[in-house]
Chains A and B, each alone.
Chain A
Amino acid sequence: KQEVTQIPAALSVPEGENLVLNCSFTDSAIYNLQWFRQDPGKGLTSLLLIQSSQREQTSGRLNASLDKSSGRSTLYIAASQPGDSATYLCAVLNYGGATNKLIFGTGTLLAVQP
């Protein structure tokens, strides 16, 4: 059974710092991995999608990497800003699953201090 873990559960950094969020998964037979951002009481916004054949994806100050063999993904945020404060969730989509179910980690709550 696929399990997704995100460490740390919470992170506080000063503005301008570069940071890395971690996501690990137990079953490497994934279709893709997606990083989301969730603001308090709000929906999920898709940040980056990495297909299983890809190693990384970039969007602005965000860079996500995927190492399927080790069951890990990282989300790198460069030059963090207070507006980056949110919960970051990773989710994997398994191969062959008839449900096409995203399996989520429990998230990392990021606070960027001005």
Chain B
Amino acid sequence: AQTVTQSQPEMSVQEAETVTLSCTYDTSESDYYLFWYKQPPSRQMILVIRQEAYKQQNATENRFSVNFQKAAKSFSLKISDSQLGDAAMYFCAYVYTGANSKLTFGKGITLSVRP
């Protein structure tokens, strides 16, 4: 079974600084997708970024970028110029393209932003 591991339950960053959230996954597949979702205190789940495994280029969305290391099965999220509104729980998720695969989430990491 595929697993997604977020080993750091909590992290903290100073406003305007950069922070990296770690995620590793276990799979024997070569064709899959990876996601980062954000859950602010409002409880709404929001897509942050998406990465296709067959694309070597790291995905970027404004201040959010990923470091996708396929061989190492690592998918970290970098948040640049952190803002108070970035404070949230962040979930890493994985799904492979096979017929019976469903999106699997990590346990999440709580990010706090210090003013």
Instruction: Tell whether A pairs with B.
Output: no
- Give the A-binding residues of B (Cβ under 8 A): none
